[in-house]
Structure 1
Amino acid sequence: MTFVARSVRYVLRKRVRTIVLLIVLTIITASMLSTIAVSRAAQQAAGRIEKEAVGGFVLASNLQGSMLTPRGGGMVRPADVRRIAQLPGVDSYMVRQNATADLVGANVAKVPGGDDYDATKEQQFGNAANVIGTNDSSKLNVFTSRTLGMAEGRHLKASDKYTSMIHEDLAKANGLKVGDTLTLKANAYDADNESHSTATVKTTIVGIFKGDSARKVSSRAELTANTIYTDLDTTRDLYQYKDSKEIYQDATFVLSKGVDVEKTMDAAKKLPVDWNNYQITRNDQYSSSMLHAARGVRSMMRGALIGVTVSAVLVL
């Protein structure tokens, strides 16, 4: 009698035992495969985070000080940014410059389910969008944290002039695509528009982004779809900043690999900058916490795999 024939006869004779063993082996195999899959996924995630994580810090206005715009925004001076950017170990930096602009020939997204502005506010800000000028949109926290991501096109870079990135909802509502023109007009009613500029800037859409924040919004000004990212030339021209009067909301400095963040921050604090008006903080807490979480999951899965293996041996 062959081995296969004997096996078949044993299975038919010991049906209950065979079914029980099949169930036990299936459960053990599925548990081990699931544990290994989760462990490998956590390892890959940790690897990606380690690869993308860079040390750095943020220079912003001291909220307890006087260097704030009428709307409470930051007033970081370009000269101070340049001083810090020249420190050894600083690889690059990213700045943000805020403006409020009306869309020309397009409409902003509205909050579903009712009117969020009274008659006066509707007349003043009914078609206004939040404009954020930057020299490198890929380094903005909303993109590095993957709250937002690119749907089409590319990020903004330092060499761009009169370009923009818009949300996919705004693009869809207005029939816009990469390569189209989006015209912005400075909103004279914005408190930060101290020159009451009504300058108009035509921008070329180079990117369309997707995603949204988890927060609940109460007005159209808080909608992610109504945030437009542009290059710095666009925001400068919108608010007609004069030489030496330009300001940034904040500046993020990225350090070269292996450079000590704390030592570089200490060196920055020794520069001839009025630190009573500024605050400087690390900006890598997000990546550090994510890396710690991924390593924690991997460690937990390793323990679970050992537990499943021991249990399997005992059961069998």
Structure 2
Amino acid sequence: MSLSSIVVQKKDGSEFENQYFNNSVYEYDFVSKLEDTKAVSIKQGVTLDSLPEEYKNVVSVVGTNNTSKNVLFRSGVFTLISGKNINSKDRNSILIHLDLAKKNHLKVGGTICLNSHTFTIKGIFEGKKHETYKGLSSDLSENTVFLDYHFLDTKMVHKMTVFSKKESRLKQV
């Protein structure tokens, strides 16, 4: 498995002016601990007996500035069924899976806490991606959440998708 990334920023840390592209979507992936909420669990063939307690109730987090342009939503693997997508203006917003919402009696407008930070649930989605279960609750689609990129205290991205109406502009990337 290889994790690769590229960071493009000015020396002063500010963002580049975006005169050639209609918009860019940033994504940063990590795992986070749920507080006062239980992750969805299913019986799996893989178990980790030596797994520390703090890793038994974790979710996979995608920090993004636009969930509607995320490949899982664009391809139809995930479908927003309630509420709204996260966009670049959102702060402290989160999308959660329907099964996670049902298990914890959560609704759009409610809150969920990750690593001591409270997020407002902006939307609920459903669907199931291809999974490779390695023994963590965060491996499951039901335990995937999307939160607004601006909450993250980073300028790094794991994935950047660039959109343009002119193909010649994309070639410049």
Q: Which among 72, 75, 94 is matched to residue 25 of structure 2?
A: 94
The aligned runs of 1:187-266 (5 Å cut-off) are: 200-215=116-131, 217-219=133-135, 220-236=137-153, 241=154, 246-256=155-165, 259-260=166-167, 263-266=168-171
RMSD: 2.3
Cα distance in 2 between the residues matched to 1:113 and 1:251: 33
Alignment of 1:124-203 (within 5 A): 124-185=54-115, 200-203=116-119
Q: Which amino acid aligns with 1:266?
A: K
User: Which ranges of structure 1 fall in alignment gaps of 5 or more residues?
Assistant: 1-62, 64-71, 186-199, 269-316
Structure 2: give runs of 5+ residues left out of the alignment: none
Determine the structure 1 residue equivalent to 2:48.
Answer: 117
Instruction: Identify the residue that residue 18 of structure 2 maps to in structure 1.
Output: 85
Distance in 1, Cα, partners of 2:124 & 2:35: 18
Amino acid corresponding to residue 173 of structure 1 in structure 2: K
Local SS of the residue matching 1:85: coil
Structure 1's 78 and 139: CA in aligned 2 closer, same or farther, altered over 3 A? farther
Q: Secondary structure at the match of 2:120?
A: strand
Give the TM-score of the pair, scaled to structure 1: 0.49
**TM-score, normalising length from structure 2?**
0.86
Q: Take 2:159 and 2:9, find their aligned partners in 1: how far apart are those partners? A: 10
More helix by share: 1
Give the number of the structure whose alpha-carbon radius of gyration is greater.
1
Contact 1:171–1:208 (CA under 8 A) maintained in structure 2: yes
4+ residue runs over 6 A deviation:
none
Distance in 1 (CA, whole Å) between partners of 2:97 and 2:89 is 22
Give the structure with the larger strand fraction.
Answer: 2
- Structure 1 residues 98, 235: CA separation in 2 closer, same or farther (over 3 Å shift)? farther
Cα deviation, residue 166, structure 1: 0.2
The aligned counterpart of 1:195 is: none
| Alignment deviations for residues 58-117 of structure 1 (CA, whole Å, 9 cap, x no partner) | xxxxx6xxxxxxxx3524345499548332xx1111100123211110011123256722
Distance 2:63 2:52 in 1: 25
Aligned residues: 169
Are the counterparts in 1 of residues 164 and 170 from structure 2 also a CA contact under 8 Å?
A: no
